[in-house]
Amino acid sequence: AQSVAQPEDQVNVAEGNPLTVKCTYSVSGNPYLFWYVQYPNRGLQFLLKYITGDNLVKGSYGFEAEFNKSQTSFHLKKPSALVSDSALYFCAVRDTNDYKLSFGAGTTVTVRA
Amino acid sequence: EAGVAQSPRYKIIEKRQSVAFWCNPISGHATLYWYQQILGQGPKLLIQFQNNGVVDDSQLPKDRFSAERLKGVDSTLKIQPAKLEDSAVYLCASSLVGLTSNTEAFFGQGTRLTVV
């Protein structure tokens, strides 16, 4: 069985500062890892994914994520946050030995002007 | 390309009533998911279809929830009878290939259900 943990309920940063949203996972096989963003009254939007290869993955809107197998982490990062990045962010994992896509509880990001 | 369509967007019902949600996935997507998202929590998988077959419904409360995907395209999720704790957003998603695939899922805007 797989699981995902997002240890921070909320992350607050000033505009222009770097943004990091943390995610750790547990799988029995190898992971496929995903980040989604959710704006108010909207569905989840796909940001990026890690499948294999380069540990640094680049995605939409200037976001990137770093896969760390030894720490079983997949933290989302953005070098310079914008006020418009304020939203709810979800990490998700699929185990290559399974098929279910499991989500973390989410992290609310607030970027202040 | 058209996205995942869901209807209705909002629904308010009294407890013990029944309700149905509809989902039309992206054309050609074999896998369809229904998730329940309770306020303040991450989405919880209720049921996953591969074409018109169920591959996982382990977290579906089968005494009151049912879902079907006729002809491997559209899907409906039904709750009968509804309870107060069913108040949530019901998200439908689809992906090109399922099972152990590495393809991402695309989500609809969801149906916000309020049970009073």
- Cis bond leading into B8, ω under 30°? yes
Pull the structure tokens for residue B40. 């303040």
B84: helix, coil or strand? helix
Q: How many CA atoms lie within 13 A of A62 on its CB side?
A: 11
Q: Which residues of chain B have pLDDT under 50?
A: none
**Cα separation of B23 and A109, whole Å?**
29
Give residue B103's pLDDT: 81
Cβ separation of B45 and A41 shorter than 8 Å?
no
A24: helix, coil or strand? strand
Give residue A43's pLDDT: 84
Residue of B nearest to A98 (CA): B100
Cβ separation of B93 and A44 shorter than 8 Å?
yes
Give residue B49's pLDDT: 92
Q: Which one of A25, A98, A100 would you mutate to disrupt binding with B, by most B Cβ within 10 Å of its Cβ?
A: A100
Cβ density class B87-114: b for 16+ within 10 Å, e for less: bbbbbbbbbeebeebebbbbbbbbbbbe
Cβ separation of A44 and B91 shorter than 8 Å?
yes
Give residue B100's pLDDT: 55
Residue of B nearest to A40 (CA): B109
A62: helix, coil or strand? helix
Cβ separation of B100 and A97 shorter than 8 Å?
yes
Give residue B99's pLDDT: 54
Q: Which residues from B are below 8 Å from A when comparing CB atoms?
A: 4, 33, 35, 40-45, 48, 55-56, 91, 93, 98-102, 104-110
Q: Which of B41, B99, B108 sits opposite A43 (nearest CB)?
A: B108
**Integer CA distances (angstroms), A53 to A46, A49, A56, B15, B99, in order:** 20, 11, 9, 50, 21
Q: Which residues of chain A have pLDDT under 70?
A: none
